Amino acid sequence: MAKKTSQPRADIGLIGLAVMGQNLALNIADHGYKISVFNRTTSVTNDFVANNPNTPGGLVGCNTLKAFVASLKKPRKVIILVKAGPAVDAVVDQLIKAGIQKNDIVVDAGNSLWTDTIRREKEYAAKLKFFGSGVSGGEIGARFGPSLMPGGDKTAWKHLEPIWKAISAKVDRRTGKPLDDYAEGKPVKGGVPCTAYVGENGAGHYVKMVHNGIEYADMQVICEAYQLLSQLGGIKPDELSKVFASWNKGDLASYLIEITADILQQRDPVNKRNFIVDKVLDTAGQKGTGKWTAVNALDMGIPANAIAEAVFARCISAIKDERVAASKQLKGPRTKKYTGSKKKLVEMVRDALYCSKVCAYAQGFQLMAEAQKEYGWKLNFGSIASIWRGGCIIRANFLQKITEAFKNNRKLPNLLLDPYFKRKVNAAQANWRNVVTLAANHGVAAPVFMTALAYYDGYRADRLPANLLQAQRDYFGAHTYERIDTPRGKFFHIDWPHPDRPQEKA
Ligand code: 2AM
Q: What is the CATH number for 177?
A: 3.40.50.720
Contacting residues for 200 by C-beta, under 8 A, at least 6 apart: 151, 152, 153, 154, 375, 376, 377
Confidence check: pLDDT of 57 > 80? yes
Ligand 1 center to 136 CA (angstroms): 20
Cα angle 242, 216, 286; round to 5? 115
Residue 5: the pLDDT is 47
Domain that holds residue 474: 467-506
9-26: pLDDT as tens digits:
999 999 999 999 999 999
Does residue 169 form part of some domain?
yes
Strand duo 170-171 + 186-187: pairing: unpaired
Confidence check: pLDDT of 267 > 50? yes
Residue 240: the pLDDT is 98
Give one word for 51, left, alpha or beta, with left for phi > 0 and alpha for psi -120 to 50: alpha
Residue located nearest, by CA, to atom 12 of ligand 1: 40
Ligand 1 center to 30 CA (angstroms): 24
351 and 330 in a common domain:
yes
| Number of domains the chain is built from | 3
182 and 45 in a common domain:
yes
Peptide bond into 447 cis (omega under 30): no
Rounded mean pLDDT of the chain? 95
Does the beta carbon of 329 lie inside 6 Å of ligand 1? no
How many Å apart are CA 184 and CA 254, to the nearest integer?
24
More confident residue, 132 or 179: 132
Does the beta carbon of 91 lie inside 6 Å of ligand 1? yes
233 and 263 in a common domain:
yes
Residue 506: the pLDDT is 41
How many Å apart are CA 416 and CA 411, to the nearest integer?
13
Which residue intervals of 270-341 are DSSP H helices? 276-279, 289-300, 305-318, 320-327
Contacting residues for 214 by C-beta, under 8 A, at least 6 apart: 307, 360, 361, 364, 394
How many Å apart are CA 187 and CA 291, to the nearest integer?
36
Residue 146: the pLDDT is 97
Burial 308-346 (b: 16+ CB within 10 A, else e): bbbbbbbeebeeeeeeeeeeeeeeeeeeeebeeeeeebb
Residue located nearest, by CA, to atom 8 of ligand 1: 82
Catalytic residue among 34, 77, 129, 208: 208
Lowest mean pLDDT among 9-18, 179-188, 294-303, 487-496: 179-188
Residue 2: the pLDDT is 40
Under the banding of pLDDT at 50, 70 and 90, the label for residue 189 is confident
pTM, whole model, 2 decimals?
0.95
Residue 447: the pLDDT is 98
Mean pLDDT (whole number) for 110-117: 97
How many Å apart are CA 154 and CA 159, to the nearest integer?
9
143 and 221 in a common domain:
no
Closest ligand 1 atom, residue 87 Cα: 19
Confidence check: pLDDT of 56 > 90? yes
Please report, for residues 178, 305, 325, 349, the alpha-carbon distance to residue 317 in angstroms, rounded to integers and kept in the order given. Answer: 33, 18, 13, 21
Residue located nearest, by CA, to atom 2 of ligand 1: 41
Does residue 94 form part of some domain?
yes
Judge contact between 391 and 168, C-beta under 8 A.
Answer: yes
Does residue 5 form part of some domain?
no
46 and 28 in a common domain:
yes
191 and 285 in a common domain:
no
484-494: pLDDT as tens digits:
999 999 999 99
Confidence check: pLDDT of 498 > 60? yes
Does the beta carbon of 16 lie inside 6 Å of ligand 1? yes
Under the banding of pLDDT at 50, 70 and 90, the label for residue 4 is very low
344 and 210 in a common domain:
yes
How many Å apart are CA 52 and CA 322, to the nearest integer?
49
Ligand 1 center to 166 CA (angstroms): 26
Return the C-alpha torsion angle 169, 171, 173, 177, nearest 10. -170
Closest ligand 1 atom, residue 82 Cα: 8
417-447: pLDDT as tens digits:
999 999 999 999 999 999 999 999 999 999 9
137 and 34 in a common domain:
yes
Does the beta carbon of 40 lie inside 6 Å of ligand 1? yes
Residue located nearest, by CA, to atom 17 of ligand 1: 87
Catalytic residue among 215, 224, 309, 401: 215
Give one word for 9, left, alpha or beta, with left for phi > 0 and alpha for psi -120 to 50: beta
How many Å apart are CA 445 and CA 179, to the nearest integer?
37
SS3 143: helix
Please report, for residues 125, 129, 140, 283, the alpha-carbon distance to residue 230 in angstroms, rounded to integers and kept in the order given. Answer: 55, 52, 30, 18
Confidence check: pLDDT of 44 > 50? yes
273 and 216 in a common domain:
yes
Does the beta carbon of 87 lie inside 6 Å of ligand 1? yes
Does residue 6 form part of some domain?
no
194 and 90 in a common domain:
yes
Does the beta carbon of 199 lie inside 6 Å of ligand 1? no
Ligand 1 center to 83 CA (angstroms): 7
Residue 185: the pLDDT is 65
Under the banding of pLDDT at 50, 70 and 90, the label for residue 219 is very high
| Active site annotation includes 215 | yes
Judge contact between 405 and 391, C-beta under 8 A.
Answer: no
Longest CA–CA separation in the chain, Å: 95
Please report, for residues 263, 292, 327, 435, the alpha-carbon distance to residue 208 in angstroms, rounded to integers and kept in the order given. Answer: 26, 11, 37, 31
Q: What is the CATH number for 423?
A: 1.10.1040.10
Say what percent of the chain tops pLDDT 90.
92
Does residue 7 form part of some domain?
no
209 and 197 in a common domain:
no
Judge contact between 387 and 147, C-beta under 8 A.
Answer: yes
Mean pLDDT (whole number) for 478-506: 86
Does residue 125 form part of some domain?
yes
Does residue 1 form part of some domain?
no
Does the beta carbon of 82 lie inside 6 Å of ligand 1? yes
Judge contact between 444 and 225, C-beta under 8 A.
Answer: no
Ligand 1 center to 15 CA (angstroms): 8
Ligand 1 pocket: which of 20, 40, 63, 111 to mutate (most atoms <8 Å of CB)? 40
Domain boundary among 180, 201, 222: 201
Return the C-alpha torsion angle 245, 251, 255, 261, nearest 10. -20
Residue 335: the pLDDT is 78
Closest ligand 1 atom, residue 90 Cα: 19
Say what percent of the chain tops pLDDT 70.
96
Residue 505: the pLDDT is 47
Q: What is the CATH number for 475?
A: 1.20.5.320
Ligand 1 center to 40 CA (angstroms): 6
Does residue 4 form part of some domain?
no
Residue 182: the pLDDT is 62
Confidence check: pLDDT of 190 > 60? yes
Does the beta carbon of 18 lie inside 6 Å of ligand 1? yes
Domain boundary among 201, 217, 237: 201
Confidence check: pLDDT of 222 > 50? yes
DSSP string, 368-425: HHHHHHHHT----HHHHHHHTSSSSTT-BTHHHHHHHHHHH-TT-S-GGGSHHHHHHH
Domain boundary among 201, 233, 260: 201
Residue 462: the pLDDT is 98
Ligand 1 center to 16 CA (angstroms): 6
Could you say which DSSP state residue 273 is in? Answer: T
159 and 98 in a common domain:
yes
How many Å apart are CA 386 and CA 398, to the nearest integer?
10
Ligand 1 center to 257 CA (angstroms): 34
